[in-house]
Structure 1
Amino acid sequence: MGSVLEDAVTGRPLWGVDLAMLTKPRISGGLLGALHADEREREADADTARRAPLTRIRATALLTRPWWLPVFEGLDPYSDVLKSVTGVVLDPQAVAPFPYDWRLAVAYNGTLLARTARAHLTRWRERVAATPDWAAGGARPRLVFVAHSMGGLVVRAALEQDPELAADTRAVITVGTPFLGSAKSVLALNLLHTGARPKRLVRGVQAMAATLPGVHDLLPGYRCLDRGVDVERLSAADVARFGGDAELAARSLAERTRHRQDGFTLPGHRAIVGEAQPTIQSLAEQHPDLRVAAGRRYAFDVDADGDLVRAPGSDLPARRNASGDGTVHLPSARAGTEAVTYVYGQHGTLMRHDGALRQIRRVIQERPQSPYLGGGDGTGPGLETPELGGTLGQPLILAATGLDTPAGVTLSVHSATTGRPGHPLTLRRDPERTDGTLSARFTADAPDLYRVVLDTGRHTPLTQLVLVTLPDA
């Protein structure tokens, strides 16, 4: 969701430009409604992209300002990573940003990416050949893809569809990519059944998400639905019951099955994975008649035969906290690759994380990999913020996890839109939690997008964005 979208006919911004579309009722309803996928957009696939690409909405740029969405939470702009990558290549023209219409199917966008990447590589090879000092090195230029979140799925689709492009790829760097899907996508489809507020915003987001192939392509393909004595993979009927679209879900889940079976490997894959953040990893159905999906912060293991690992001396499945970046749990972001760098970071802010940027630069420069920046075991400092945001006048509960003491730790909140500084908050043991969590309360004095910063003094500060809106009329 990190690409700016606009109406292709009128040029009207639809996404990623003005936060008023999320905070002001008269604006948000119209813009969110305009982002609903029509029938052609729902059915668009790789063949559509090859024959007649869609033109109703266009992606114009990567995000240049912070953004936010219920459940998926904050998303930082890509300015820092573009600057970081551009600073280590021969010429800025070696770098080509690829914005895409994230509403549409991954397969559709993968075809467009393959075409764009081939054209970019061809242009760059021609330029290198015409520059004697560069051509003297003798190495034939190849591609490096740097992809965040869904972008990694789009890269995989592009390289699967075009084996010659895969052969011309030296490395793929994925940052927080949900290769196995994210349970949070189900919660986004289930917003109408949560009682969340403000109702106007969650109603608009859920109605939009239910029409989008791109959101359905984030559905978890692993065994995640906790039935008590068993754990099942989601079915299209489950997704429809939770507020999604059965047809879009069936198509997406079929792709998940294909990926489990085909064994495709990204060339030169390096995964940067956020860990230690409180992360929804599985789902439970609170009551079939209520159609409410409840997120759970634990996952389930399977053995070499694909059978569930059971708790010792019990028929119940063994549960464990696999950790993650707040949106994607560790097993999904690793995708079986052994070249993993772990960082303590939130999903939407990973592309500004110093450790992630340093690792990206080292891969591009073909330097040795940095050592693990996290522990790789899911333990460490974590930041927890309200995933549905807040309303003016109501305190936000902000939590720091994985810390033994508040000594030397600071938690602060400031405006992400104006830069207006806030005051440090006091962290205390949360009496309602038994896991030693530290928490603080923050009450906003104006509707805004706020940046929460947790600094332990020992690691790169953790950040997350929280939207505070006016209450329902």
Structure 2
Amino acid sequence: MTDQAQGYSPNPSFGLEPPLVPAITHDAVVVVPGIMGSELYDTSRNEVIWGLANSSWLTRAWLTRSGLDSLRLTPDELAGEHSRVRARRLLETPAWSPFFKGIEPYHKLLSTIENTIAHPSAILPFPYDWRLPVSAHARTLAAAARDHLTRWRSHPAQIAARAHAVDDREARLVFVAHSMGGLVTYAALTLGGDHDLADDTRGVMTLGTPFQGSVVAANILNTLQGAPLPLPHNRLAAAAVTMPGVHDLLPRFLCLEDGSTVRTLTPTDVSNLGGDKELFAASQDFFRDLYRQPLPHHRPIAGIGQDTVQSLQLHAGVVHASEYCFREDNNGELKRDKHGRPLRYPVKGDGTVHRVSASPVRRAMPVHAQHGALASGKQARRTVADFLLEDDHLGPDQADDGLGLNVPDYVHPHTKWDLAITGTNEPAGIECTVSAVDSDYTKSTRVQVDGGDRLRATLTVPDTGLYRVTVRSDHSHTLTQLIFAGPDSSEYLDE
């Protein structure tokens, strides 16, 4: 049979098709690192005190008597004078800290973002002095983001890329924030003094942000009076007790086992475990104000599957941390067993932030990674890139789905057929079922990696009819698709 007989005709414009539009965003991106993720420079001594461009400084910092002295906040700094230490740039080489463990630099994340933006000028890295309270950076970040957006909107590359946007809107802001950086971003968008900044923000992606704090911060402050630990742990504790930033990371959820109940930490508890009572009280007041407003356009990523301390007991001033947490029911009552004992839930996390704390909403996108490496891992970077490339016209519900589902529109009974789940190569937490629309038939099937960023499942159905394929995931909306099963062409019956 000829091409013409099949309905095909040559395209006279072959070779003259318009070029493919590059997969980039015309929005401006602000990258906000986590605790210890910014290089700190002491202007009074003209030297870097955290984050040198080589790793040998770590030995001096953690193993010499005065290695961390410059990181301690002075009385003037605690009173609000913050000119001594300046945050110069994002961390450029790997670092290490007791309890926080490995802290990866951000060049891989920045490189991923550069591949999805119209010009390098669209990125604003925002280093900050992580020793200070989160509240100290709210107005600074808000002003920096506003200035960045204003300059980017007049950039020729933004103007050119905007022409390809589906709605031809002006560029907006996208924040990508790791760890404590998510709290700083939250503060900038809600308490930063720029009341239009949230409206000019398309989205906020947080990676492992401790929205309700972390028991690891209690372990850090308790080191000086707890069990004997290596020298670096003591060095960190001595500096951390002066840092409002560390007190901002203390847990604000039900975590302290106290007899037959579980409660939140009080300033007195923090003083008893080795922290500063006033710094924690100020932190409580700040977060009480912060959480009166939701974080706009938020997409949280939570590290999962790693052993993570989630609760503690306090005996004679010594913290005994445990890898389980507690929950309340919808009425705010502590979940208990039939004997009245608080139920313990081992939900794990990223090694620093347990999963519940990593999102102020129930739904978060899970990534198997340790806290310090969360922003540099391939899975999280793919998610960041996809987030940057989203278009507003898709609508918030579809844009939030995360996963995709591809199924054939027609299958045969008793014959195997495949479906594809796109957007992930991790089958954990994925449930796939096929159910008959007009009967009680339902069957689950196993999903498996199919190479690249996709999963595959093989199914059969028992009879002709209409079926519904459903994919449920811990980190995505439920996906569903109807599929029809009928005979092949050789089995059609004459009417």
TM-score tier after normalising by the smaller chain length: 0.7 to 0.9
User: Residues 98-142 of structure 1, C-alpha deviation per residue, up to 9 Å, x if partnerless?
Assistant: 000000010111221111101100100122598456457531110
Residue equivalent to 1:204 = 235
Residue equivalent to 2:260 = 229
CA distance in 2, matches of 1:68, 1:26: 9
Following superposition, the deviation at residue 351 of structure 1 comes to: 1.1
Could you tell me whether the CA contact under 8 Å between 1:269 and 1:337 is conserved in 2?
no
Could you tell me whether the CA contact under 8 Å between 2:304 and 2:348 is conserved in 1?
yes
Does the alignment pair 1:42 with 2:58? no
Please tell me the residue identity of whatever aligns with 1:304.
Answer: N
Could you tell me whether the CA contact under 8 Å between 1:21 and 1:28 is conserved in 2?
no
Percent of aligned positions that are identical: 40
Following superposition, the deviation at residue 374 of structure 1 comes to: 5.4
Q: Which moved more, 1:5-14 or 1:128-137?
A: 128-137
Q: Secondary structure at the match of 1:355?
A: helix
Unaligned runs of 5+ in 2: 1-35, 392-398, 404-422, 431-495
Could you tell me whether the CA contact under 8 Å between 1:221 and 1:256 is conserved in 2?
no
Residue equivalent to 2:217 = 185
Following superposition, the deviation at residue 251 of structure 1 comes to: 0.9
Does the alignment pair 1:297 with 2:309? no
CA distance in 1, matches of 2:374, 2:367: 9
Q: How does 1:70-469 map to 2 (within 5 A)?
A: 70-128=98-156, 131=159, 134=162, 138-161=168-191, 162-199=194-231, 201-259=232-290, 262=292, 264-285=293-314, 287-288=315-316, 291-311=317-337, 313-336=338-361, 338=363, 340-366=364-390, 369-370=402-403, 371=423
User: Residues 210-263 of structure 1, C-alpha deviation per residue, up to 9 Å, x if partnerless?
Assistant: 000100010111110011310010011111111111110111123333445x1x
Residue equivalent to 1:389 = none
User: Residues 360-398 of structure 1, C-alpha deviation per residue, up to 9 Å, x if partnerless?
Assistant: 0001011653456657869xxxxxxxxxxxxxxxxxxxx
Alignment RMSD: 2.2
CA distance in 2, matches of 1:12, 1:318: 50
Q: Which moved more, 1:316-325 or 1:32-41?
A: 32-41
Could you tell me whether the CA contact under 8 Å between 2:307 and 2:351 is conserved in 1?
yes
* Rg comparison, structure with higher value: 2
TM value normalised by structure 1: 0.72
Q: Secondary structure at the match of 2:196?
A: helix
Residue equivalent to 2:457 = none
CA distance in 1, matches of 2:351, 2:327: 19
Does the alignment pair 1:6 with 2:41? yes
Q: Which moved more, 1:22-31 or 1:249-258?
A: 22-31
Residue equivalent to 1:47 = none
Please tell me the residue identity of whatever aligns with 1:301.
Answer: R
CA distance in 2, matches of 1:150, 1:296: 22
Q: Secondary structure at the match of 1:193?
A: coil
CA distance in 1, matches of 2:366, 2:272: 36
Please tell me the residue identity of whatever aligns with 2:300.
Answer: A
CA distance in 2, matches of 1:259, 1:374: 35
Higher helix share: 1
CA distance in 2, matches of 1:173, 1:136: 24
Relative distance call for 1:240 and 1:178 in structure 2 (3 A) is same
Following superposition, the deviation at residue 164 of structure 1 comes to: 1.0
